[in-house]
Amino acid sequence: MNAAKLLKVYAGSLGVFLLVDLLWLGVLARSFYRRQLGPLLRPDVRWLPAILFYLAFVAGILIFAAIPAIERGSLARALLLGALFGAIAYATYDLTNLATLRDFPPVVAVVDIAWGGFLAALVAGVAYKLGA
- 39-70: per-residue pLDDT in tens? 889 989 899 999 999 999 999 999 999 999 99
| Main-chain dihedrals φ then ψ at residue 105, nearest 5 degrees | -70, 125
In whole angstroms, what is the distance from residue 19 CA to residue 39 CA?
26
pLDDT at res. 90:
98
Name the residue among 22, 37, 51 with its Cα closest to residue 97. 37
Q: Helices 106-131 and 30-37: crossing angle, nearest 10°? A: 150
pLDDT at res. 39:
87
Residue 74 falls in which region: left (phi positive, over 0), alpha (psi -120 to 50) or beta: beta
Domain residues of the chain, as ranges?
A: 3-131
pLDDT tops 90 at residue 1: no
List CB contacts of 51: < 8 A, sequence separation 6 or more: none
Q: What is the pLDDT of residues 76-121, one digit of tens each?
A: 999 999 999 999 999 999 999 999 999 999 999 999 999 999 999 9
pLDDT at res. 52:
97
Using the CB atoms, write b or e for 120-130: b if 16+ within 10 Å. bbbbbbbbbeb
pLDDT tops 90 at residue 72: yes
